A and B are shown apart, each in its own frame.
Chain A
Amino acid sequence: MRARILRRRELIEDDWTLLEDGGAADASAAGGKVIVTLARWRSQREALLAAHAAVGVLVPNTADIEAVYPEIDGRPLIALQFPTFSDGRALSQAVVLRRRVGFTGELRAVGDVIRDLVFWLGRCGFDSIVPRQDQSLEACREALEELSVAYQAVADDHTPVWVRRRGRPAVH
């Protein structure tokens, strides 16, 4: 059975399979959409492309995403890691991917993803969220809308507050 995840604010069945490095069950994923580690992508790129309908890449949160990007440019999915929910390194990677190098594919958050991280993920440009198993998907979807106002634009639909106020009278 496939996991249910949150993609573009919808609850869907995941159509991607995460291949563990050195995992034995790769055969079941043959012909499907797979996510592989950056190391595996580097070493088995041609074979992976030949064997699967689509290949996404899981990038460690310690990677310099800008330096790595030429190697994964054009991938339909990039997955970033949250070893714990309070480790925000992948948030900076996400913002750089969305705002600087112009990645427009699926950006996925994996790991210790709890409901209370989801709002911040959404604003940093993640459009694909795989919550930790014990988390309520419905609650995670609601969490995307937790706060409607924001001071900054990050990788979301907001306008920075200093830009919004242009043209407004100075003191209220």
Chain B
Amino acid sequence: MYRYDDIDRALVTQRVEQFRDQTRRYLAGELSEEEFRHLRLRNGLYQQRFAPMLRISVPYGLLEAAQLRKMAQVVRKYDRGYAHFTTRQNIQLNWPKLEQVPDLLGELSQVQLHGIQACGNDTRNITSDYLAGVAADEHTDPRPYCELLRQYVALHPEFYWLPRKFKFAVTGAAVDRAASRTNDVAVHLVRRADGAIGYRFFVGGGLGRQPMLGQEMNPFVPESDLLRYACAILRTFNRFGRRDNIHKARIKIVLREWGIERFRAAIEEEYARIKASAEGEELLLLPEDIERVRAHFTSPAYRPAAEVAADLEAVAARDARFAAWLKRNVRAHKVPGYRVVFVSLKAPDRIPGDCTAEQFEALAQICETYSFGELRSTYEQNLVLADVAERDLEELWRTLETHELATPNIGLVTDIVSCPGLDLCGLANAGTSGVVQEIYRRFDGLDAQYEIGAIRITISGCMNGCGHHSVGHIGILGVDKHGEEWYQVTLGGSPGNDAAIGERVGRALARDEIADGVERLIRAYLELRCDEDETFIECYRRVGMESFKARLYESEAEAQAA
């Protein structure tokens, strides 16, 4: 876990006071609505339908017990007793009062939490692999690079007024667990044959309107040049990103309008100029700069396998519920005797990603007792206890169950990714929570879920795509048709190594048809798959759109035939 020093602390503290003064001036009528809008967004404060929403940055999804306890306190004191984990590993409060937000941010700053650049046209919180440091397929821990980048982009004056939001994700493993290419910039750490570390940069990804996956810009930027290359991309975006149309302002549009050759040439030329200048000297990272940050992310004091290993199969054999949880929510760890535990925030009748004050408190205690005091958030809106001794698993499971945090559905049909939708969000065209619940109930039985296997259902209440609908195996997009909620379905999207943007199937389905439609798609899969090992996405890719399309609109075809 990165620990603030005096410089970090001073920056966050001063930032709170700056925002306190801005809020005071706004409330006193000295700042216009439009002026204050830009200022509050850069502190995480968004205007939703009924109240402000405060987005709190969780740098690369890493949290510790003191932060969880603070979250429990602030959601009770300033909100309605719960908060929401987002698809960018952040936390949102839905009902804070504007005049109290400076105090709220002041409290958060005591535990290294803030809303700096959580919204607005600036560089957003950097996301990363939620298994950083513990995954067997990881070759380089991405967290030190995330932190170096975080500090570089935080309150960077040149890049504080960008054309549009700008998102980085960093990974260092064979498996992409950060939906990296859906970001404006994906930084893939790479190791060359000679052992040299570098970065493979992808640029131009983004969900929302015209979803795109990032394209490779440079296959190997040397380790020392992380900030130089980031500067080149940001400066190119700041100069050339469109400012005449908010819907065409992301960097992906520059890439699309210019074509990749011209776009790459512009970034590479800026990079070359930076390298040749005094500015480039300053931006050069020395090995010791990286080592200093790396020292914050050392492995915890793992105990020898003989002390922590357990015969989990024996426990599973006498308790089917534990067996289900072990199978679905527990993953391998690179250290013998330890496991990675997923904490599901997808319990029945709950909004995906929501977490109550009581749960925050419980999680603080749980991560202290079982996982060296740390917890991670995932872009699928679940949580991870990264370092759990096998011997503790049964006890941990019972504790999580008590707090409704042990639903054994990670990666299954009820592990639905969703934005808050029309219930809260001012941008939404349609509700999401009702649809989520309806789909959830159709497949709530564990046998049905296990029969269906790995599948990713994602739903967004508008085309901005916070619910990642474009990269769902089954993606659902809420649209407004003459004041009614309708839902468009896309198929075949994926956020990981096999990243793909889903294809739209056809006409939207009405609110009362959508759950039936999803069910028909899943039944179609069960009939079409070669065997139980072929997942939904594999089957879709083999069979193609038409078979699924026919099933999605089956009732309509029947109605026409009748």
Contact = CB atoms under 8 A, between A and B. Distances in A.
A87 B289 contact: no
A170 interface: yes
A149 B10 contact: yes
A43 to B, nearest CB: 25
Main secondary structure of the interface of B (DSSP, over half): helix
Contact of B154 (A94, A151, A164): A151
Contact of A147 (B3, B14, B279, B282): B14
A86 B292 contact: no
A164 to B, nearest CB: 7
A2 interface: no
B155 A92 contact: no
B156 interface: yes
Interface string B14-53: 1100100010000000010001001100000000000000
Nearest to A121: B157
Contacts of A148: 10, 14
Interface in B154-190: 154-162
- In terms of DSSP, what is the predominant structure of the interface of chain A? loop
A151 B282 CA distance: 12
Interface string A145-172: 0111111111010001111111010111
A92 B273 contact: no
B243 interface: yes
A171 B288 CA distance: 13
B378 interface: no
B35 A114 contact: yes
Contact of A164 (B7, B157, B160, B288): B7
Contacts of A153: 282
Nearest to A160: B282
- Contact count band on B: 35 or more
A124 interface: yes
B152 A152 contact: yes
Contact of B238 (A89, A119, A123, A150): A89
Interface in B265-288: 273, 277-279, 282-283, 285-286, 288
A120 B42 CA distance: 13
A165 B155 CA distance: 18
Contact of B291 (A89, A99, A117, A170): A170
B158 A116 contact: no
Given A85-B35, A116-B35, A149 B243 contact: no
A146 B155 CA distance: 12
Nearest to B291: A170
A171 B1 CA distance: 10
Interface string A69-105: 0000000000000000111110110110001100000
B273 A100 contact: yes
Contacts of B121: 86
Contacts of B7: 149, 151, 161, 164-165
A86 B152 contact: no
Interface of A: 64, 66, 85-89, 91-92, 94-95, 99-100, 114, 116-117, 119-120, 123-124, 146-154, 156, 160-166, 168, 170-172
Given A151-B7, A172-B3, 18 more contacts: A85-B35, A85-B38, A91-B157, A100-B277, A116-B31, A151-B154, A151-B156, A152-B152, A152-B156, A154-B157, A156-B157, A163-B282, A165-B5, A165-B289, A166-B286, A170-B291, A171-B295, A172-B5
List the 5 shortest-distance A-B pairs measured between CB atoms, nearest first: A88-B161, A170-B295, A123-B157, A120-B157, A162-B289
25 contacts: A86-B38, A86-B161, A88-B161, A88-B162, A91-B157, A92-B239, A94-B158, A99-B278, A100-B279, A117-B161, A149-B11, A150-B155, A151-B151, A152-B152, A161-B151, A162-B285, A162-B289, A165-B5, A165-B7, A165-B289, A168-B5, A168-B292, A171-B3, A171-B295, A172-B3
